[in-house]
Copies of this chain bind each other. A is one copy, B any other.
Amino acid sequence: MAEQAAQRTDDGARAPNRRRGRPPATDSADTRRKIFDVARCLFAERGYGAVTNKDVASAAGITPGALYHYVESKLDLYVQVDVDMQRTIYFRFQDALASSGTFIGKFSAMLEAAYELAEEDPAVASFVGAVRTDMRRHPEVAERLARYAQERDQFFVDIVDIGVATGEIAPQDKPLAIAFVRTVLIGLTETVSTTPGQHRDAIDAVIKLLRGTLLRAPSAVD
User: Residues of A with Cβ closer than 8 Å to B?
Assistant: 45-47, 49-50, 100-105, 130, 132-133, 136-138, 163, 166-170, 173, 175-180, 182-188, 190-191, 193-195, 198-199, 201-202, 204-206, 208-210, 212, 214-222
Contacts and interface: CB of A to CB of B under 8 A. Distances in A.
B47 A218 contact: no
Contacts of A199: 179
6 contacts: A46-B136, A136-B194, A179-B202, A183-B206, A187-B188, A212-B212
Q: Assembly of this chain: how many copies?
A: 4
Q: Is the interface of A mostly helix, strand, loop or mixed?
A: helix
Contact of A179 (B130, B177, B205, B218): B205
B166 A220 contact: yes
A22 B123 CA distance: 36
Contact of A173 (B169, B202, B208, B217): B208
Nearest to A153: B195
A169 B49 contact: no
B167 A219 contact: yes
A191 B198 contact: no
A190 B180 contact: no
Contact of A184 (B49, B187, B198, B218): B187
Contact of A186 (B138, B191, B217, B220): B191
A194 B132 contact: yes
Contact of A47 (B104, B137, B201): B137
A184 B183 CA distance: 7
A186 B221 CA distance: 28
Contacts of A138: 50
Given A100-B222, A209-B209, A212-B215, 6 more contacts: A45-B136, A169-B215, A175-B201, A177-B205, A178-B201, A179-B201
